[in-house]
Every structure is written in C-alpha cells, then in structure tokens.
Amino acid sequence: MTGQRAAASAVVVAILAATAASARADRPSSAGWYAEGALGGTAFIGDAANYSKTGPALGVRIGYDVFSWLSVGAHVTASTHEATVPPPPEGEFYQLYSTLAEGRVSVPIGPTALFAFGGGGLGIISSNVLDKVGVVAPGEHFTVAFRGGGGLEYQLQNRHYAFGIDGEWTTYPEFDAMSSVTVRTFIRYTY
C-alpha cells in the first residue's frame, strides 16, 4: 500500500513538473525570489462571528520558488475588526496579525495556475476587548496559528508579474480556537 502511494505521488510530481514546463513555454514566467501584496476581507466563522465583524485585510508574502510548482516563504497578514461584544465597550476595533511560514504548490494551466498553500506560525491580537467573552484569556496576545487555502493566479505577458485571487482558512487555537476565512486579490512580482 505504501509503495502504491509512493508511486502515485511520483506520478503526480512528474505530471506537475511536465505541466509546469509546458506552461512556461506558453507564457514565460520568472522563477526564484518573489514578493506579493494582497488586499481583501476577513470574516470569522463559528462562535467568534458573534463577537467580531468582517473587516479589511492585507497581506504580504515573500518567498522563493524552489521549483516552478513549489514555493516556500513567509506570509504576514493584518486585519481590522469591530468588536461586537456585549457593551460596554461598544464600537471598539481591534487588529489581528499573523506571521506564518508557508508552502505553496501550483498547477499551471496555460497562463493561469491553480494553487494551494498551507502553513503555521504566530497570531497576534492587538487588544483584550475579546477578553470579556472568553476568546482571549487575561494577558493573552499571542497564539500559534495554522492556515490553509487555495486560489487562482494569472501570469501576465511580463514574466515578472502575476495577479490573482485566493481564499484561506486560519485557526488560532489559543484564542478559543477562533477561526477566520479571508478572500484576497493579490499581485505577485517574481525576480
């Protein structure tokens, strides 16, 4: 069984590599160090949705294309939310930050690419406003964070630039397992 899985994995990798090579021929793109900026929105799911409104989000990725289909890097995000805890306080905002190590696998299809990513790192909340509803404990501002998601990327004629849209799910286990979903549009520059 294990041997069959290994063989299947090897086939998938071979297909990805071959697809990437053929796509690169269709639409040349740079590979190597890259930087990415993104704007979008973050909403909470589960119990946390009762205490926080959807808010604007931004993100920055910096990393390296190990292969044309595999990238590793750092993903830094920030989002702002209005707390909707039982008053008082009322109409207060807080920020949620994260810094994660991330890996990304891409499947190029012509000038576009489907990709999936995942990673883990650190989450930071700026305020204790959610303390009142038990999302954070007294003095707690940091948590581990895990993230997964996917999206669609379009490679421009200029081989350095691509843009796209992605969606992701993030969980913050030490913040009462608070979970969020984010949708962003991004532009990516590869050196």
Partner 1 sequence: MSNTTIAISIATTLAVGASACADDPVYIQPLSALEVNAGDDDTGLAMDTIQLPIRQLDDGQCDGDLTASRCKETADDVDERQALADKYGLTFDDIPFVRFEDMDVSIEWTIKNLEDVDGTARVDVNGANEWFQYVPDVLVIDPDDDEEEPPPALIHGIPLMIPAGATVSGVVREGSVREGSIDIELITRGTADEVCTACGNPVAAVLQINEDTTAFPSDIGEINQEIFAGMVQFDLVFSADRHMVLEYAIRVRDHRGLLHDELSAAPPEELIVFTPAVYMPVVTDPMP
What is the per-residue burial (b if ≥16 Cβ within 10 Å, else e) of 151-165? bebebeeeeeebebe
Distance CA 174, CA 187 (A): 32
Distance CA 168, CA 179 (A): 11
31 is a contact residue toward partner 1 (CB under 8 A): no
Site for partner 1 in 131-190 (CB under 8 A): 131-132, 138-139, 141
Instruction: Select from 8, 62, 101, 177 the one that contacts partner 1 (CB under 8 A).
Output: 62
Smallest gap from residue 60 Cβ to partner 1 (A): 6
One-letter identity of residue 98: S
67 is a contact residue toward partner 1 (CB under 8 A): no
Instruction: Select from 54, 92, 107, 118 the one that contacts partner 1 (CB under 8 A).
Output: 92
Interface region with partner 1, contact rule CB under 8 A, candidates 7-15, 45-53, 90-98, 153-161: 90-98
129 is a contact residue toward partner 1 (CB under 8 A): yes
84 is a contact residue toward partner 1 (CB under 8 A): no
| Partner residues linked to 154 by β-bridges | 112, 163
Instruction: Select from 89, 110, 134, 173 the one that contacts partner 1 (CB under 8 A).
Output: 89
Residues 94 and 125 sit within 8 Å (Cβ to Cβ): yes
Q: How many residues bind partner 1 (CB under 8 A)?
A: 27
97 is a contact residue toward partner 1 (CB under 8 A): yes
What is the per-residue burial (b if ≥16 Cβ within 10 Å, else e) of 7-35? eeeeeeeeebeebbeebbeebebbbeebe
Distance CA 166, CA 104 (A): 12
Residues that bind partner 1 (CB under 8 A): 33, 35, 60, 62, 74, 76, 78, 87-90, 92, 94-95, 97, 99, 124, 126-129, 131-132, 138-139, 141, 191
